Structure 1
Amino acid sequence: MATLMGKRILVIGGSSGIGLGVATAVLDKGAEVVIVGRSQEKLQAAERALAAVGKVSTFVADMTQEAEIARLFAGIGGLDHLVSTAGTPPPDYPIGDTDLNVVRGFIDNKLVGAVLVAKHAIRTLKKGGSMTFTSGINKDKPPVPGGSVVAAHRRVVRLFRACAVAGTGADKGQRGVAGLGRYTHVHRTGRRE
């Protein structure tokens, strides 16, 4: 396994939950971490908690807002790796009671946000770097109620992987993309693009 010592890693959704766990783990391995989230307060709390472990900085951005994502990547410089654990809980009510605004928010967060992040991150990703997007257990074990939206999301994950392959040139051997369980991983090989 490659070392993370001295690597710069961006963790979107890093102020709590799995993202905070990822940030802690990579700091323990000697990486520098930038954590991104929507809540300044949660980011500040996470930064205080992680400061004793290693070098950490924060950035407030909503991954569904392209201007904020563009500002994020314009402001942070080069990255070795990106991990996105950001997510919104799926709707938890029967299809007959579906609130389309909640469904749109869920899709914006899990698909549109991931596409926006990948679009802007690829410009700052260093040779040998990677992007990893998590989708969560719900795509494999849809909740009841709410499973219909999650089942649709499962197809969205496959669409995102296909777009990543085509959009990154992996289909031409320029970068590799692997769908591994509950996440999609995009690897930058550094070949000419």
Structure 2
Amino acid sequence: MATAGTDRRILVTGASTGIGEKTVRRLADQGYRVVAAARRRERLEALAQAHSSVEAYPLDITSDEDVAALAEHLSSTGGLDGVVNNAGGALGLDRVEDGDVDGWRWMYELNVLGTLRVTKAMLPLLRAAEGGDIVVVTSTAAYEPYEGGAGYTGVKHAERMLSTTLRQEIVGEPIRIIEVAPGAVATEEFSLTRFSGDAERAKKVYEGYQPLHGEDVAESIEWALGRPEHVNVDLMVVRPRDQASSSKIAKKGA
């Protein structure tokens, strides 16, 4: 396992926007070789054009075939030193009694099974490299409930259990399992997706206080990856100063 700035090759999923895009840029600036994976090819190619150490790889993490093809590609082109499981998303704020089964299923497929597919496929590559890192970007929603959030908190709790259980299962191997759990992060698409494109409602989520930005979380991820190889950052919770919990935010004028 190499340390930061020594040409390590890191896969970042959900790399076309938000935290994923900022993580790709941050890691590239710090000397990593980055494989930027997401569904939107044109955005990935723009990242690759801006950073010579970034490779664009179109990927749908809900597809077994796509993930298997990525693993084969990485294996045949130099292997892998780490993966940042960042792809995910929320949909709706429906109460349990009104739960949208299809929406909940979409969140589970993307956040939980997508992370599972990628992690399973990348583990053999990290073992072949004799060490590496698996970062799972969850959320403070993985640790606390809030009204209307059962669908999203449920999948993030499951994603957290995936990472913490894996840490127990492979303890003793030179592979670190790192969880980064952000609070409120203002990105261009998270709340817009959650509210089905309602830009006004999405904007109100971040009014009256200073939320985190994607760069803040990307810096946290890069810091955790850069620790000496005997140091594992099991969990890093990163919130805005004004956020005490998912349901308690100090907003001006509120």
- Return 114-123 or 89-98, whichever deviates more: 89-98
Residue in structure 1 matched with residue 136 of structure 2 by the alignment: 133
The equivalences for 1:1-193 within 5 A come to 2-48=3-49, 50-51=50-51, 54-77=52-75, 78-125=79-126, 126-140=129-143, 142=145, 144-145=147-148, 147-165=149-167, 167=169, 169-170=170-171, 173-175=172-174, 178=177, 180=179, 182=181
Aligned length: 181
Distance 2:48 2:107 in 1: 27
**Per-residue displacement from partner, 1:55-104 (whole Å, max 9, x unpaired)?**
11111111121111000110123011111211122432222322111101
1:20–1:142 distance in 2 versus 1, CA, 3 Å: farther
- Return 148-157 or 122-131, whichever deviates more: 148-157
The sequence identity of aligned pairs, in percent, is 23
SS class of match (1:33): strand
Could you tell me how far 1:179 is from its partner in structure 2? 5.7
User: Partner letter of residue 29 of structure 1?
Assistant: Q
8 A contact 1:83–1:132 mirrored in 2 = yes
TM-score between the two structures when normalised by the length of structure 1: 0.80
Distance 1:86 1:69 in 2: 13
8 A contact 1:161–1:177 mirrored in 2 = no
Could you tell me how far 1:8 is from its partner in structure 2? 1.0
1:14–1:151 distance in 2 versus 1, CA, 3 Å: closer
1:79–1:178 distance in 2 versus 1, CA, 3 Å: closer
User: Partner letter of residue 97 of structure 2?
Assistant: G
Distance 1:41 1:180 in 2: 29
Q: Extract unaligned runs of 5+ from structure 1.
A: none
Could you tell me how far 1:135 is from its partner in structure 2? 1.0
Distance 1:178 1:122 in 2: 11
Report which of the two structures shows the higher radius of gyration computed on alpha carbons: 2
- Return 66-75 or 3-12, whichever deviates more: 3-12
Distance 1:136 1:79 in 2: 25
Q: Extract unaligned runs of 5+ from structure 2.
A: 183-223, 231-254
8 A contact 2:13–2:20 mirrored in 1 = yes
Q: Which has the higher contact order (CA 8 A, sep 6+)?
A: 2
SS class of match (1:123): helix
